[in-house]
Amino acid sequence: GDSVTQMEGPVTLSEEAFLTINCTYTATGYPSLFWYVQYPGEGLQLLLKATKADDKGSNKGFEATYRKETTSFHLEKGSVQVSDSAVYFCALGGQGGKLIFGQGTELSVKP
C-alpha cells in the first residue's frame, strides 16, 4: 500500500544553517504531496504542497520539489531560524480521501 518514509530526527541545527529533511514515498498513481508543520502543543498546519511531478511547493522560505523519478519530496530551507523549531510531517494524498503521513521529523534550531 501507499506509504511515506522520512528521515529520523531529531535534527539539531544552528541558526542560519541549511536544512534538508528527506522524504520518500511509495504510491500507486500520482498523488499530491504535502509538508505539514506542528508546533509544540498544537495541531498540524499545512506548510506547502505539490500536486504533480516537477511541481515545486514553497512557503515561508521552505521549498520542496515533487520528484517522480526518485519518488521523493525533500524539504529544504536555506537559512533556518529558532522559530522554525517544530516537528515536520511529509504526507501523500491517498485514494478515498485519506492522507498518509510519515512519522515526523523533529527540528531543533539553536541560536
17 or 87: CB nearest other proteins: 87
Among 25, 84, 88, 93, the residue binding other proteins under the rule CB under 8 A is: 93
User: Comparing C-alpha atoms, which of 47, 54, 59 is closest to residue 72?
Assistant: 54
| CA pair distance 54, 38, nearest whole angstrom | 26
Pick from 19, 39, 24: which is nearest to 86 by CA? 39
104 contributes a contact to other proteins by CB under 8 A: yes
Q: Measured from the CB atom, is 98 or 111 closer to other proteins? A: 98
Taking residues 23 to 52 in sequence order and writing x for each that binds other proteins by CB under 8 A, - otherwise, the string is --------xx-x------xxxxxx--x-x-
- Binding of other proteins by 111 (CB under 8 A): no
* Chain CA centroid to CA 39, Å: 14
Residue 16 — left, alpha, or beta (φ > 0 → left; ψ -120 to 50 → alpha)? Answer: left
Q: Report in angstroms how near the CB of residue 61 gets to other proteins at its nearest.
A: 19
